[in-house]
Amino acid sequence: MRWDEVEELVRAALAEEVREGARRLAGLEERVVGELARRPVRRSPWARLREFFRQPVPRWALVGAACALLLGFALGRLTAPKPIPQFAPNLFVIAAPGARQVAVVGDFSAWQPIPLSDPDRDGIWTAVIPLPPGRYEYAFLVDGKWVGQDPLAQEYLRTFGEYVSVRYVGGGRADRSS
Amino acid sequence: MPAEELELIQRSLNGDLEAWGEIVARYKEAVFAVALSILRNRADAEDATQDAFLRAYENLRRYDLSRKFSTWLFTVAANVAKNALRKRRRAKDPPVEEVARDPAEEVHADLRLAAVRRAVQALPPDYRTLVFLYYWHGLGVAEIAEVLRIPEGTVKTRLFRARAMIRARLVEEGVIPDAVG
Amino acid sequence: MRIALLSLIALGVLAQPVVLPSSPCPAPEEVLQFLLGMDLAPEFRAAVAGALSAGMATGRATPTVSLLLLQDLARLPREAAERILEVIRFALAQGFIVDTGLVGSSMMNEARKLLALGRKPEEIEAVLRMRLAVLLATRSVLSRSGVVAASPAPPDKPLPPEERFVLEVAWAVGDFVLWEGGAFADPRLFPFVQGRLNRLCSVGVLSAEQCQRSVVALTPEMLQEIGRLAFQPERR
């Protein structure tokens, strides 16, 4: 038996399993609709939030602002610069054969594009970015298109339907990507 | 997205429960298949299917209309089913694992098909879900990655391993010879 | 002598393997200078300048990200820019961290991310308002529970380390509800936030003391209360 025949059997076996189980689903539409109809009407969190924030917030007066400005500068002069934290090299890599421009954007660049390079033109674009310890959200831009899923990421978030990768750097943990 | 489906979703967003009922009718089997692949128990999968549609309706405003609706719905279903699985594990109440079918009935059935069912049943949960999404739902690698929230590379690796496990099991049962083309 | 010193500093900077930030870090004065040139209502501009300068001086904002965001906002219609800036100004006035610079996520970086994603100004404003609501709720619940001080430090006073803890808890709760599609009553909220905080502990973003004391003190009930306050304000 060839593998494609096995695959056909897999399809048939799954279909059989679902078909047998799906007999229980008769009338599910009515049950779902009935349950929803019984529930109290809920406004979306956005609607609730918008309403909440329609309340005005107090604004600083000009004089207060000027005082804070002066105080801010005074404090700024008193504050000694923080020591530069240790930076660890982080490899950002993405396979994008045929791409003309590849960049990475993230918290570490305030979401400004940092170009990746592919000197040997094998379609593997890389950049080594030294980063201090911390949590970083980032994504790649391949010819301007957002590519948010980096296989080397430790977490993913979805923002307005687009993926964003997350990487934690530092703390003695071996960075998988470096 | 077909215009008709878009209209159903927009009507649902406006609170038209009848339109949502139509969505349930269209997708209940597919959502059930997602839940069944994760929970391996028909009764639990049925409950999870109902919960998934309730939850999807409640969160419909979060659905981005530019995306494929089924992918989003399967993601919701997978989350609901995984949550149910965690609860079940916490309750230490192991589900009755479904066997392919009654052995007496199996005698008359296609033995090869029964063996394949057992091979898929025996897959680890993550692999089994992936096999369902690939072979039953007909999703591509990218869509599966989105539904299961795992990288595409992981989908490819798991799919490769799932095939190898099914093949090994079938070889073990003597259904197929040691090497298949 | 001064020239020699400056040359040495320049050499030191050039010799660093650090590629970030790619452009030199602006001075706070430069940020305020840019703000003064923006088309905003004069009174509002002064209020933002006050809040921002105190924020930059005390570590609640950084000149690098602030300047980039102001440059973005200058390209938006005045009303849209003002509405976004008002959320940030209000957060600063409450003493919250709005910008953790080029490490970690916070309001200003989130706004930059959403702009990079091509989102509309009103969407960015709505997200920032939701973030602010979670920050307010987080501080309220954590202070009532004794996890952080009962009254926060004024915005023009040095930043207490616990503000970073407040920010990270609020950010994790916000991420769960905003981007993970979870409800605040979802039991997965607690493991999600705990997981995030533990990872932040492992990379040293949160101090050892915060990890041993504050992270451990968090309970699922506290997080649900934060969610309830932030997302169901009518029940306050």
What pLDDT band is residue A100 in, cutting at 50, 70 and 90? very high
Q: Which residue has the tokens 């660093």?
A: C16
Distance CA B108, CA A9 (A): 17
CATH 1.20.120.420 fits B101-181, yes or no: no
Q: Which of A46, A64, A133 sits opposite C126 (nearest CB)?
A: A46
Q: Which of B62, B76, B83 sits opposite C188 (nearest CB)?
A: B83
Numbered ranges of CATH 1.10.10.10 in chain B = 101-181
Please name the helix (run of DSSP H) or strand (run of DSSP E) that holds residue A105, with its range, or none: strand A102-106
Residues 216-235 of C with CB under 8 A from A: 231-234
- The two three-digit tokens of residue C24, written as one number: 């030199």
pLDDT in tens, C115-131: 999 999 999 999 998 89
What residues does A90 pair with on adjacent strands?
A: A129
Indicate yes or no: CB of B83 within 8 angstroms of CB of C181. Answer: no
pLDDT in tens, C55-114: 999 999 999 999 999 999 999 999 999 999 999 998 998 899 999 999 899 999 999 999
Full pLDDT tens readout for chain B, 181 residues? 666 777 788 778 777 888 899 999 999 999 999 999 999 888 899 999 999 999 999 888 777 766 788 999 999 999 999 999 888 877 765 554 444 444 444 444 567 788 888 899 889 888 999 999 999 999 999 999 989 989 999 999 999 999 999 988 888 877 777 654 4
Report the phi/psi class of residue C160: left, alpha or beta, with left for phi > 0 and alpha for psi in -120 to 50.
beta
Nearest to A16 by CA among B23, B22, B98, B167: B98
Which CATH code for domain B1-98? 1.10.1740.10
Contact C107, C101 (CB under 8 A): no
Q: What is the DSSP letter of A117?
A: B
Residues making up chain B, counted from first to last: 181
Numbered ranges of CATH 1.10.1740.10 in chain B = 1-98
DSSP chain C: -HHHHHHHHHHHHHH-----SSSPPPPHHHHHHHHHTS-S-HHHHHHHHHHHHHHHHHTSS-HHHHHHHHHHHHTS-HHHHHHHHHHHHHHHHTT-----TTSS--HHHHHHHHHHTT--HHHHHHHHHHHHHHHHHHHHHHHHTTSS-SSPPPTTSPPPTHHHHHHHHHHHHHHHHHTS---TT-TTHHHHHHHHHHHHHHTTSS-HHIIIIIIHH--HHHHHHHHHHHH-GGG-
Indicate yes or no: CB of C181 within 8 angstroms of CB of B76. Answer: yes
- The alpha carbon of residue B84 is apart from the nearest alpha carbon of chain A, in Å, by 18
Q: What is the DSSP letter of A25?
A: G
Question: Is this prediction's pTM over 0.80?
Answer: no
Indicate yes or no: CB of A6 within 8 angstroms of CB of B180. Answer: yes
Contacts of A10 in chain B (CB under 8 A): 116, 120, 131, 135, 166
Q: Which of B32, B54, B112 sits opposite A32 (nearest CB)?
A: B54
